[in-house]
Amino acid sequence: MILGKTKICPFKEDSALISKINYKEYKFLRKFITEQGKIIPAHVTGVSAKYQRLITKEIKKARIVALLPFVNDPRYN
Amino acid sequence: MNFYETMYIIHPALQAGRLEDMIDNVHKKIDSLEGKRLYYDNWGKKKLSYAIDKQKYGTYVLMQFTMDGVNVQELSNEFEHNANILRYLTNRIDETEILEQKEDIKKDHTSLAEDKAPITTESSQKTNEKVEEESNSSKEEKNDSKEEENKSEKTEEE
């Protein structure tokens, strides 16, 4: 197994970012979804479990009001 | 009384006058349900991430208010039965999440504001008005740039 560098949670480094975990800040939440619109797992982004829980909830709210996509097919855009 | 936040999307075909009527209706509904409006913001016409009722664009409106929890269901009914509202989302929020009002609603609530805080000097009020005007103009500029973006996107699609 190849050991990569240890990831640090971006919200623990900069606590100002925590207030940006909100469905209205959909542009910020784009960092945590793939091009297809899937939520990126925490072990990839390095976000701690506490904030990953908040992020998923807010992304799902943003999807309801069409600020973020449920699915996004890059072939049709 | 809890704090709530509602975001709703209005049909893109509604323009200026009818749009304002629509928003006024929602505001009246909240007033009639003994709610108190705290914040209102029109985000303007935005592209939807996916089509709703075959519409690619929609006008986003965000508002915050206090209301008895029992009446929220009735407000939802209002949204549900309004064909011009594509989508709505009501959330219960914390008091700390209430945003500061910039324009519009202040005029309606001047009487309420006076009851609460009568100690406001005229000069400070004037400066507030100036700030509001500036923020309005900057907003309009933003909207213009957004529209330009939308146009360019359209041309690309064509």
Asked whether residue A45 is assigned to any structural domain, the reply reads yes
What's the pLDDT score for residue A24?
93
CB A74 within 8 A of CB A35: yes
CATH of domain B2-99: 3.30.70.60
| Total domains, chain A | 1
What's the pLDDT score for residue B42?
92
Q: Amino acid letter at B120?
A: T
Q: Do A69 and B58 make contact, defined as CB atoms within 8 angstroms?
A: no
Asked whether residue A7 is assigned to any structural domain, the reply reads no
Nearest by CB to B9, from A65, A68, A70: name it. A65
Q: What is the ipTM metric for this complex?
A: 0.82
Q: Is pLDDT of A76 > 90?
A: no
CA distance B116 to chain A (A): 29
Euclidean distance between CA atoms A61 and B36, whole angstroms:
24
Residue of A nearest to B48 (CA): A66
Where chain B has pLDDT below 70, the residues are 103-158
Structural domain of residue A67, as residue ranges?
23-76
B interface with A, Cβ–Cβ below 8 Å: 7, 9, 48-50, 52, 58, 60, 62, 87-89, 91
Asked whether residue A18 is assigned to any structural domain, the reply reads no
Which chain A residues are within 8 Å of B4, Cβ to Cβ? none
Name the residue with tokens 């664009």.
B57
Asked whether residue A17 is assigned to any structural domain, the reply reads no
Q: Do A66 and B7 make contact, defined as CB atoms within 8 angstroms?
A: no
Asked whether residue A5 is assigned to any structural domain, the reply reads no
Q: Do B50 and A69 make contact, defined as CB atoms within 8 angstroms?
A: yes
Q: What is the pLDDT of residues B56-71, one digit of tens each?
A: 999 999 999 999 989 9
Q: What is the pLDDT of residues A10-66, one digit of tens each?
A: 999 888 999 999 999 999 999 999 999 999 999 999 999 999 999 999 999 999 999
What's the pLDDT score for residue A73?
84
CA distance A47 to chain B (A): 23
Asked whether residue A9 is assigned to any structural domain, the reply reads no
Q: Do B50 and A24 make contact, defined as CB atoms within 8 angstroms?
A: no
**What Å distances lie between residue A62 and A33, B12, B97, CA to CA?**
12, 19, 17
Q: Do A64 and B87 make contact, defined as CB atoms within 8 angstroms?
A: yes
Cα within 13 Å of Cα(B83), Cβ side:
1
CATH number at residue A42: 4.10.640.10
Asked whether residue A54 is assigned to any structural domain, the reply reads yes
Phi, psi angles (nearest 5°) of residue B133: -60, -45
**What Å distances lie between residue B3 and A28, A36, B6, B67, CA to CA?**
25, 34, 10, 7
Euclidean distance between CA atoms B106 and B54, whole angstroms:
36
Asked whether residue A33 is assigned to any structural domain, the reply reads yes
Q: What is the pLDDT of residues B92-117, one digit of tens each?
A: 999 888 888 876 545 544 444 444 44
Q: What is the DSSP string of B126-137?
A: HHHHHHHHHHHH
Q: Do A65 and B52 make contact, defined as CB atoms within 8 angstroms?
A: no
Euclidean distance between CA atoms A18 and A25, whole angstroms:
11
What's the pLDDT score for residue B102?
73
